[in-house]
Amino acid sequence: MIKHLKTLLKNNEIRNTGWIIIGKASQMVLSFLVGVWSAQYLGPSYYGQLNYVLAYVALFTSLCTLGITSSVLINELTKHPDEEGKTLGTAIGMRLVSSIFSAIMIVSIVFLVDDGDPLLVWIAVLSSCGLIFKVFDLIEFWFLKRYLSKITSIASFVGYFATSLYKIYLIISEKNVAYFALSTSVDYIVIAIILFIAYKKYGGGKLGFSLKRGKEILSASYHFILSGTMVALYGQTDKVMLKIMQSEAEVGYYSTASTISNIWVFVLSAIISSLSPAIVRFKKEGNETLYRQKNRQLYSIVFYLSLFVSLMITIFAPLIIKILYGEAYLGSIAPLRIITWYVAFSYLGVARDVWLVCENKQKYSTYIYIFAVIANIGLNALFIPKFGTSGAASASLITQILTSMVLPILWKDTRENVKLMVQGIINFDFLKIHKGR
């Protein structure tokens, strides 16, 4: 047993995952506590206003990333090991242009939809600035490829710490909601500086730009541009529709439920990010046995870990809301008990992206998420007038189940992935330690 434990601790993937989880856990605790304090200070209505605008930011965040996910960029860095600086610099340059364009679009949409409401427009201006600085988070994937998540974890924690201090200052000095919109920019600026310095210190190549490399990256990622936008649409339209069809306070309740249900998903992101390089490597080496085993293991871990956490949240939802947010947020209990089950199916979809990239079948993401947006908007339009926040939560859950486990069965090329998911879940692959890492 002790020997087995030592073997696990020496494993690069497990150590890498450990650093990501430790870093994310630290910043999660800090940011969550300050976030709860901020929600209490702002109240459901102002908190709803902030999250309403942030829904637009989240939508355009997916668009301005250009589909350059961790799996796509790690794959490109692996294919061109002698030109990492050019690959990374090209990705950053393309995202910078798209982020500036996205920031302009966010402000314009809020101005038009909300009749030029001065407060909402200012929230849009300040919150969208974060998109521009977020482009440098691509450097994190360079560290992930080298199993150096210790660096990214430290950078993220320092960034969150600076943001938390900023929010505490706002609460103490009793600033209005618009100032809170600037907090994401503070976070991304600090993280960008630290990551860039560490990139140079650890021997990162000179960043450059190549039109040819840009075309190659986009050829691998463009399917994820639309699919990522579709994901954001059905992930954020609920808040926009709640504001339009119900009230800002309802958005506040729903956002609180979403925050609690997603408070721990950094663990899932860490697991997916750490196992992705091995999956890509096995595919490149032609080791189909280990490739399939690692995919099944990933799906199994994501599914069962999510189910356990969702069960705990469902049982203790009233206690969680009362202790953390107080009586003003009791309206969050019902949607929390529904939307927490969304996580398992959502992150099965995230894990599936690694398989799609390796199999060069990214185009199916587009088809799946186009359906998802249509279904989600339709379900929200049907459920929100009758059930409010619980209706929005139900619409999101049903849509996610369809996109993760049901719709991919319709295409022959994606049935294999559903089969891997089901096998991983039925065979409890999360309990198995595979050799040949």
Q: Provide Rg for the chain, Cα atoms.
A: 21
Contact 226, 366 (CB under 8 A): yes
Question: Mean pLDDT over residues 160-189, rounded?
Answer: 84
pLDDT in tens, 89-147: 788 888 888 888 888 999 999 998 888 888 899 999 998 888 888 887 777 776 766 66
Specify if 1 maps to a domain.
no
Contact 264, 309 (CB under 8 A): yes
The C-alpha torsion from 174 through 176 and 178 to 184, rounded to 10°, is: 30
**If we measure between CA atoms, which residue out of 350, 391, 110 comes closest to residue 242?**
391
Structurally, the chain folds into a number of domains equal to 1
217/78 Cα distance (integer angstroms): 12
Question: Mean pLDDT over residues 225-229, rounded?
Answer: 70
Q: Which of 193-207, 260-274, 290-304, 325-339 has the highest mean pLDDT?
A: 325-339
Specify if 174 maps to a domain.
yes
330/114 Cα distance (integer angstroms): 28
Specify if 7 maps to a domain.
no
Longest CA span, the chain: 66
Higher pLDDT, 161 or 308: 308
Specify if 6 maps to a domain.
no
Specify if 436 maps to a domain.
no
Specify if 405 maps to a domain.
yes
Residue 53 CB-density burial (10 A; 0-12 exposed, 13-18 middle, 19+ buried): buried
Specify if 38 maps to a domain.
yes
Q: How confident is the model at residue 430 (pLDDT cuts 50, 70, 90)?
A: low
Specify if 266 maps to a domain.
yes
Contact 396, 372 (CB under 8 A): no
What domain range includes position 361? Answer: 12-431
Tokens, residue 392? 């929005």
pLDDT the model gives residue 378: 93
75/229 Cα distance (integer angstroms): 21
Q: Give the DSSP H or E segment for 95.
A: helix 84-113
Across 13-17, 111-115, 357-361, 390-394, least confident range = 13-17
Q: Which of 21-35, 225-239, 289-303 has the highest mean pLDDT?
A: 289-303
Tokens, residue 387? 């059930």
